[in-house]
Structure 1
Amino acid sequence: MSDIIAAISTPPGQGGVGIVRISGDGSLGIMKKVFSECPEDPAPRHVYFGHVVDPDKTGPEAVIDEAVFIYMKAPHSYTCEDVVEIQAHGGPVGMKKILRTVIRNGARLAEPGEFTKLAFMNGRLDLTQAEAVMDIISAKTDLPYTIAESQLEGSLGRRIREIRQGLLDVLAQMAVNIDFPDEDIEEMEYDAFVSDVSREKENIVSLINSAPAGRITREGVKVAIVGSPNAGKSSLLNGLLGEERAIVTDVPGTTRDTIQEMMDVGGMPVILEDTAGIRDTQDQVEQIGIDRSRKALERADVVLFVVDGSRPLSDEDREIARAIRECGKEERTITILNKEDLSALSGEADIGEILDDPRVIQTSLLEGKYLDISVEKVSQEIERMIFAGTGSQIPSAVVTSERQLDALERACEQADSAVRMLRAGEALEICELGVHSAYDILGEVIGEEAGDQILDAVFSRFCLGK
């Protein structure tokens, strides 16, 4: 008999409703102890109203809270075991009392992710679907949520199984040829193996190529706002966010550190990073902020280069442009030529002298009518750059974790090795090893060949109660 596990499945803090989840053979028996109105034979998927009580007490003191409970009979539950959920008032004190009472009466506290781990171990989810559960919980905008939902439906797992089946067909045909060593293996047979393994290798490469999109949708597009002091960087951040997040003054060097905030652009999470102005300074604190600005520029997916158009280009502007070129970010840079409401002393031609083929937007980040128009133009240009060449279409089967990417890259190496050996006419017994390794490694992605170390690493990311 497996353990009965229990945990609070709703976020900590106050809420209208809180849920304690119990899973395992015997969970219903616990309910009969702690739920005063529990029927002797409750119907699955029905809601029952009553009171959670402490069976060690009597009278009014025994009552912990009014609640409802739902019984889900195995295998028709999240974990494929008997599951009971108690839904009570969502205060932290009451939730903890209910959980402690459940544990005293036969359950143990669940480990992080243990409910989902049971769903995986019992065959309800593969490992990519289990990872998608956490991606759904942590999604902050529509696009990563949509991808996670697709993963939970099994899109990546199905693609992996198709590739594995193709490799398995090759292994089966190789085995036939190996089992009859007295017969010559024709060259056309080797050519067929090369073609089949190469096809599956290209399918693996296609999944590997989806990893950057998976990373961006999971982690967000990193946008660094850079520029000389007092060019309007903080005004741009505040305008994009629609709130006063950064201090704005006429004094150069107000921003001493990087400021990170998230916004939604076309369903994609965008992490805006307002940086300290890059310039020569003797101020030790400001210099630390400038060093961080350079690091933000290096890790950015998109750069917003804010230039004060009301004055000629400064040495700081030229230094920032040089830093953009050195980081290889010219093609990912949008130049914001600010203060168009004032007399223009710098224009697009001047930007063309310091950056190749610049994308330039004329703006005024003053509070009022100019600001809304400018922010809309910048947001549209960021969205165009994010989805350049792809529209807003992201493949349904997307690699969304470093674990998946690592396994796919190793499988690709093994498949490629097998193709090279087949082309060289090596013995099939040798060639078969690479194909078999690729097949096994792909099994790690969906969990069919995953060891305890991989499983522990995946489920340790989960919160309690999921």
Structure 2
Amino acid sequence: QRGELWRRAQRAKTALLPQLSCPGAMRALASDAARVWHDAASLAPRGAGWRRPSRPAICDTARAAAHGGHRARRHAGAVRRAAAAAAAATDAAPRDGNGGPSTSGRGGEGYGLVTAGEDTIASVVTGVTTQGSVAVIRISGAAAPEIASRVFWPGGHFKFGWRPESHRVYYGSVVDSGGAVIDEAVLVPMLAPRSYTREDVIELQVHGGPVCCRRVLTAVIEAGARPARPGEFTLRAFLNGRLDLSQAESVMQLVTARTAAAADSALAGLRGGVGETVRRIREGVIDALVEVEARLDFEEDLGPLDSEAVRASVSGLQQDIEAALRTAREGALLRNGLQVAIVGRPNVGKSSLLNAWTKTERAIVTDIAGTTRDVVEAGLTVGGVPLTLLDTAGIRAASDAVEAIGVERSQAAAAGADIVVMVVDAASGWTEADGEIFSGLWGKGPGTRGCKVKGAALLVANKADLAGDREVQLPLLVKEAFHAVVRTCAVSREGLGSLEEAILQLAGAPQLASGGVSWTVNERQAEALVRAHEALMRVSQTIAEGLPYDLWTIDLRGAALALGEVSGDEVGEEVLDSVFARFCIGK
């Protein structure tokens, strides 16, 4: 397959120059150049010194050039560069016996990766701070096999000229620069391109613990590697086309996932869920752009543009972007979780509710009012969302300095929480003391000047077993402040399921309440999608006002650029630095 690509690329490269005056030949060659470049970029290596152009930019140029005429000649240089890039990509591959690129799967420096000229890097990817039984040290780069031959003796004995074969498992000894054995290890070589970074990768599985890890890593660095920077392995995977930018971000989300649902969402993104969706939307934008641009010079030949069809297409693309943006809230919940403060007067069952909810004895429970003096924290997962529950001291007029500090901390916890759960005694109903607490936290209602609570609020009527069928009668102002009233019994755990569902509904993720979890967009991706949506809104407005086609193309190009930032097709160095700086060392 690579051999055929090489021959096609050479034909496209050499045939373009003499055919620029022939629109028909130009259309065919431009289309072929785009296909060759697309295939070569994904299957063939890139040569040293060739900076990979943006695939969508090449395809856009080829599509525009395919319309022929002087507009085709205007784009001929870019199309010629596309074919030349495809040829350079295949030219850089090691040749097999038939003159085509090698298909042996052996990489190294000759494989022509974007990172071919970079240092070989190494890092402990697990087992540094914990006393685990096994730790893994990863080496990635062109010199990885050579470094492995310096620090690893297969079978515990030095073998002159030994080089690891790809995807084999070797047992042996790790030695330092003086030849002293410092550990026993298992070596797993994954040579280019069949590795995480698409470079030559060597992984050493050594005994866990800080001492063994550092000794082996030191030996690897002395043999020629340098310590990897945070996220550098995944950055190289992105630069070498192994992952797009949205998949690279999903790797980090998977590593830092706090719940199984968050891990499932990250895996869905790693499989390409976000990237595929955005790529499909971007292709729709580019198709619309090509149709509009073709009419700028060739409307007489192509006929009038169907403005309604373009508007309908743009409207459909906007809806697709809106559907993707709706996942942003779910993603934030899965990644960051929620902080829930439990407030109320003393002895209404706040600590009992915390213990029943978390199935622990985290808080001390007695019949004495004011037992809880400080904020008690407990973790819980609800519908895949990590919750941090804050059991606060009962709010009342303090009897001593210690209780006064506890009440002050309770009010601060309520002010900073995402959701505030106010607990009342269902048997006693709404009391004057409850009203004082409400006025102290919410003032004259949410959004008023005296309101300290910024998050949403729920009212829990606890001790429902003692209240029978009686409902808690609430003042109108209180009813409007709370989104729902949930009856619970901490002793029997009755109503806790309804409380969890109400919290998820209140957090804006009803599908999480029903167990629906899929890929989600993060903050950076959502910001780019919003810009793309705004650009398409301007396109729709421009069409409705009957403005010239040139103005349509401005915002269509803006939408395409914004969408390209999600997958990394159109992204600057500062964005890459920001994304990968959040990664841990070793990933």
Please state which band the TM-score falls in when normalised by the shorter chain: 0.7 to 0.9
- 2:446 corresponds in structure 1 to 326
State which of 543, 562, 575 in structure 2 corresponds to 1:422.
Answer: 543
Q: Distance in 1 between matches of 2:302 and 2:583?
A: 55
* Other-structure match for 1:361: 487
Are the equivalent residues in 2 in contact too, given 1:330–1:355 (CA < 8 A)?
no
Structure showing greater radius of gyration is 2
State the Cα distance separating 1:43 from its structure 2 match: 2.5
Aligned CA distance change for structure 1 residues 446 and 280 (closer, same or farther; 3 Å): farther
Provide structure 1 residue ranges, at least 5 long, that are not aligned to the other structure: 366-370
Deviations 1:350-372 (A, max 9, x none): 24764268533141x3xxxxx3x
**Inter-partner Cα distance in structure 1 for 2:240 and 2:187:** 24
Q: What's the offset of the Cα at 1:296?
A: 3.7
SS in 2 for 1:192: helix
- TM (norm. structure 1) is 0.87
Contact 1:110 1:464 in 2 (8 A): yes
CA distance in 1, matches of 2:412, 2:455: 20
How far apart are the structure 2 equivalents of 1:236 and 1:408?
41
Q: Deviations over 1:134-184 (max 9, x none)?
A: 111121222111111100100010000000000000011011011236789
**Equivalent pair of 1:330/1:358 in contact (CA under 8 Å):** no
Question: How many percent of aligned residue pairs carry the same amino acid?
Answer: 38
CA shift, 1:281, in A, is 4.5
Partner Cα distance (2:542, 2:196) in 1: 46
- For residues 331 and 27 of structure 1, the distance between their equivalents in structure 2, rounded to whole angstroms, comes to 54
From 136, 142, 154, give the equivalent of 1:37: 154
The correspondence for 2:412, drawn from 280, 287, 292, is: 292
Give the gaps of 5 or more residues in structure 2: 1-116, 448-452
Q: Secondary structure of the residue that 2:472 maps to in structure 1? A: helix
- Kept after mapping to 2: 8 A contact 1:240/1:379: no
Structure ranking higher on relative contact order (CA contacts 8 Å, 6+ apart): 1
How far apart are the structure 2 equivalents of 1:417 and 1:207?
19
Name the amino acid aligned to 2:579: V
Please tell me whether the aligned partners of residues 264 and 517 of structure 2 are also in contact (alpha carbons under 8 angstroms): no
2:363 counterpart of 1:246 = yes
Q: Using the alignment, how far apart are the partners of 1:202 and 1:28 within structure 2? A: 50
**Alpha-carbon distance, 1:222 to partner:** 3.6
The alpha carbon displacement at 1:235 in A equals 2.0
Q: Given the two structures, how large is their TM-score scaled by the length of structure 2? A: 0.70
Q: Give the equivalent residue in structure 1 for 2:298.
A: 180
CA offsets per residue over residues 368-427 of structure 1, 9 Å max, x none?
A: xxx3x22x531453136526753535363421x211111111111111111111111111
Question: Secondary structure of 1:180's match?
Answer: helix
Equivalence map 1:1-400=2 (5 Å): 1-11=117-127, 12-37=129-154, 40-57=162-179, 62-180=180-298, 186=304, 189-281=306-398, 283=401, 285-297=405-417, 299-300=418-419, 303-311=420-428, 313-321=430-438, 323=441, 326=446, 333-338=458-463, 340=465, 344=467, 347-351=470-474, 354-355=478-479, 358-363=484-489, 365=490, 371=491, 373-374=492-493, 377-383=495-501, 385-386=503-504, 390=511, 392-394=514-516, 396-399=518-521
Counterpart Cα distance in 1 of 2:130 and 2:487: 45
Could you tell me which amino acid in structure 1 is paired with residue 322 of structure 2?
V
Match of residue 572 from structure 2: 451
Q: Which amino acid aligns with 2:410?
A: I
Q: Name the SS for the 2:274 alignment partner.
A: helix
CA drift of 1:214 comes to 1.3
Question: For structure 1, which segment, 424-433 or 30-39, has the greater mean C-alpha deviation from structure 2 after superposition?
Answer: 30-39
> Which deviates further from its counterpart, 29-38 or 114-123?
29-38
One-letter amino acid matched to 1:131: E
Once structures 1 and 2 are overlaid, which stretch shifts more, 378-387 or 262-271?
378-387
Say if 1:238 and 1:246, in contact at 8 Å, map to a contact too: yes
Structure 2 CA distance, aligned partners of 1:281 and 1:96?
54
In the alignment, is the contact (CA less than 8 A) between 1:337 and 1:361 conserved in 2?
Answer: yes
1: CA distance, partners of 2:535 / 2:303: 23
Contact 1:321 1:355 in 2 (8 A): no
